[in-house]
Amino acid sequence: MNGNNYYVIFAGTGNESEAKRLIRKSLDTDLCPNVFYPQKKMKKKIRGQEVEYTSPLIPGYIFLRTDRVQELYQKLRDAHVFHRILGVREEGEDEIFFYNLTDSETDWVRKRMGRSREMGDDDPVIELSQIRFREDKSIEIVSGPLLEYSGHIQKINVHGRWANVRTVFFGREMDLHFGIEIVE
Instruction: Please compute Rg for the chain using Cα positions.
Output: 18
Give the confidence band of 97 by pLDDT, cuts at 50, 70, 90.
low
pTM above 0.75, yes or no: yes
Give residue-wise pLDDT tens across range 101-150: 888 887 776 676 555 345 555 778 888 999 998 989 888 899 988 887 77
What is the phi/psi pair of residue 99, to 5°? -85, 110
Secondary structure of the chain in HEC code, one letter for each residue: CCCCCEEEEECCCCCHHHHHHHHHHHCCCCCCCEEECCEEEEEEEECCEEEEEEEECCCCEEEEECCCHHHHHHHHHHHCCCCEECCCEEECCCEEECCCCCHHHHHHHHHHCCCCCCCCCCCCEECCEEEEECCCCCEEEEECCCHHHHHHEEEEECCCCEEEEEEEECCEEEEEEEEEEECC
What is the phi/psi pair of residue 17, to 5°? -65, -45
Q: What's the chain's average pLDDT? A: 81
For residue 12, what pLDDT is reported? 82
Mean pLDDT to the nearest integer, 169-175: 83
Percent of the chain with pLDDT over 90: 21
Torsion of CA 105, 110, 116, 122, to 10 degrees: -140
| Domain map (residue ranges) of the chain | 1-126, 128-184
What is the phi/psi pair of residue 74, to 5°? -65, -45
The CATH number for 1-126, chosen from 3.40.50.620, 3.30.70.940, 3.40.50.970, 2.40.37.10, is 3.30.70.940
Percent of the chain with pLDDT over 70: 81
Give the residue among 5, 52, 60, 55 at the shortest CA–CA distance from 31: 5
Note the residue count of the chain: 184
